[in-house]
Structure 1
Amino acid sequence: MSFLWYILIGILAGWVAGKIMRGGGFGLVVNLVVGIIGGLLGGWLFGLFGLIPVGSIGSFITSVIGAIVLLWLVSFMQPKQKQ
């Protein structure tokens, strides 16, 4: 059951990060990947500062922050579009 919970948190975190960073999600699979990688990245970043997320809300916040950082880093690798 906890594995399913982590997947749901990852999907939701990826969707929220997509809304914050670009104004829209990327689809279920990409949101899941972004949320899971964001959770790992967020956990690592929080660990650097000595912060430990507690409970589902803490895991969700960590995943969202990590996913936002991930999307921000990816935005530097995309070619600039002329307007």
Structure 2
Amino acid sequence: MQFGSLIGMLIVGALAGWLSGKIMQGRGFGILGNIIVGVVGAFLAGLIFPALGFAAGGGFFWSLIHATIGAVILLFLIGLIRRAG
């Protein structure tokens, strides 16, 4: 992995985590937590979308949309776990 791609992944993760926190009405975890949620959400979406037959185009915009949807799903699941506990 090159340094530029790592920085890009962190930027997309941070933006996706922030967006998902706004979409899910303040369930964010701060900047570092949002980066982690965004990156993990992108990974989660990368597993779910191909299994459902969805494919997104390449580029920054589609990566951000992809990661944001995955992060929203992740925040929803975290919210379910918190309520059950």
What runs of 5+ residues in structure 2 fail to find an aligned partner?
A: none
- Looking at structure 1, the residues matched to 40 and 62 of structure 2 have their Cα atoms a distance apart, in angstroms, of 16
Deviations 1:10-66 (CA, angstroms, capped at 9, x unpaired): 000000000110236421110011000000011111111222332111111110000
Q: Is the 8 A contact 1:46 1:52 kept in 2?
A: yes
Superposition RMSD in Å: 1.5
Please identify runs of 4+ aligned residues in structure 1 that moved more than 6 A. Answer: none
Is 1:70 the counterpart of 2:51? The answer is no
CA contact (8 A) 1:39 1:64 kept: yes
- TM-score calculated relative to the size of structure 1: 0.86
Percent identical pairs in the alignment equals 39
- Counting only pairs closer than 5 Å after superposition, residues 13-52 of structure 1 correspond to structure 2 as 13-23=16-26, 25-52=28-55
TM-score of the pair, normalised by structure 2: 0.84
